[in-house]
Amino acid sequence: MQLLEIVNPHHWARQWLAKQNLSEDLISQLTIVLDVAALVVIALVTDFIARKVVFVVIKRIVAKSKTKWDDYFYEQKVFRNLVHLIPAFIILFSLDFVFDDIPSLIPPLAKTIKLYIILLIVIVINKALKAFENLMVNDEKLANSPLRTLSQVSRILVIFGAAVIVISILSGIKIGSIVGILAGTSAILILIFQDTINGLLANLQITMYDLLRVGDWVTLSKYGADGDVIAIDLTTVKIRNFDKTISSVPAKAFVNDSFVNWRGMKEAQGRRIMRNINIDISSIRFCSEEDIARFSEVKVLSSYVLNKQDEINRYNQEKHLDAPEKLNGRIQTNIGVYRNYILGYLNNHPNIDPNFTVMVRQLQSTAQGVPIEVYCFANTTVWTKYELIQADIFDHLYAATEHFGLHLYQSPSGRDMQSLVKS
């Protein structure tokens, strides 16, 4: 005890001030000034050591380290804020020693420093979680894991816990009592944070059922979103549309509403082509012998036309239906040959994937003619290449209709009306 009194600056400071024949009040005021000055010196010295020694050592260790997580922590200034805790704790523990002669100042100063320490801890934890999220975004194995959601939930819990501790320090109420009071007002809290809770539940469902991943191409017509998912946050999903705008869609929309996820198409490396060619009904007719001879010269049609004609001839002979009247027997039609031409053309096309369904079918006729549906898959999912492949195929098929004596259907235009009037 005697040793502490000798080391304590108040011991010799008071003795020196007393020799100056000063009043007791003035000595007390000067002592407070000296105490504050001593506290400031301690704060400056410890902060200087923390920044210039401890942080520099940490910086060198991070630079030499081969791991990635410490680089993200350094970028988010986790270590820089962490070293500031050292002088804060040293000052907190120095209060009893510095202000031993003025104990009434210790409680308010201790509360202030504790609040500062809590603020620093919250900042450090938040920045560490942010660094962890950045690490997950750049790691393919963790990019689609629920850890990002858990990180965001942890932030909320940290802030909530810090708020409870701050209230406890300022009011003097025990933490358990505060938590009990908050439990009694849980209904109000649920009402206040219902969007966050709903978003959290939706986010967990999205992750659990693998409904959505970062990088997926999704279409959500209700919200006008059509593009790639760039972030899945606690309550929202951010989508970069193809026009480079950003749509923020509530996470619960991907659970409650219908949407299209094109991930399967990308994984299969094939994109579907499904489009109709409308044929004018009045151009459909039976094939003549000259037509059969002409069609048999087409490479993708040759085997089909000849085999089909042999089959029809045998059937008509067996059933004695080889009379001159065409309606008495079976006969090929130009639209039937055209359908099989399209099928042969697609099967021989270098940009159509043969591992997927390739089909050409006739649909129910409408006021716009007879639809011939082309159903196949391009061997690429790149949008620009897909559109070029699709356009090239239908350019050819539209032009080929005239070769089969067929006409495409289209509504009369103004020019058609003018020609009709002139005639």
CATH 2.30.30.60 positions along the chain are 209-261
Distance CA 52, CA 323 (A): 107
* Burial class of residue 97 (count of CB atoms within 10 Å of its CB; 0-12, 13-18, 19+): middle
> Residue 282 has which token pair?
């009045």
More confident residue, 73 or 299: 299
Domain 209-261 has CATH 2.30.30.60: yes
For 126-147, what is each residue's pLDDT tens digit?
888 887 777 766 666 655 566 6
CATH, range 271-419: 3.30.70.100
Contacts of residue 222, defined as CB under 8 A and 6 or more positions apart, other chains included, come to 253, 257
Task: Give the closest residue to 284 by CA, choosing from 398, 370, 183, 356.
Answer: 370
Instruction: Note the pTM of the prediction, 2 decimals.
Output: 0.51
pLDDT digits (tens, 9 = 90+) for 269-296: 888 999 999 999 999 999 988 999 999 9
pLDDT value for 7: 42
pLDDT of 251 over the 80 cut: yes
Over the stretch 73-109, which tens digit does the pLDDT of each residue have? Answer: 777 777 777 777 777 787 777 777 666 666 777 778 7
Task: Check if the beta carbon of residue 406 is closer than 8 Å to that of residue 279.
Answer: yes
Residue 144 main-chain phi, psi, to 5 deg: -110, 20
Per-residue tokens: 77: 């200034």
CA atoms within 13 A on the CB side of 106: 13
CB 331 within 8 A of CB 312: yes
pLDDT attached to residue 5: 43
Residue partners of 106: CB distance under 8 A and separation at least 6:
95, 96, 99
pLDDT higher than 70, residue 212: yes
Q: Where in the chain is the domain with CATH 3.30.70.100?
A: 271-419
Predicted confidence at residue 209, as pLDDT, reads 66
CA distance 140 to 158: 27
Q: pLDDT of 326-358, one tens digit each?
A: 677 888 999 999 999 999 999 999 999 998 999
Residue 360 burial by CB count (10 A; 0-12/13-18/19+): exposed, middle or buried? buried
Overall average pLDDT of the 62-66 stretch: 73
Tokens of 129: 């979680």
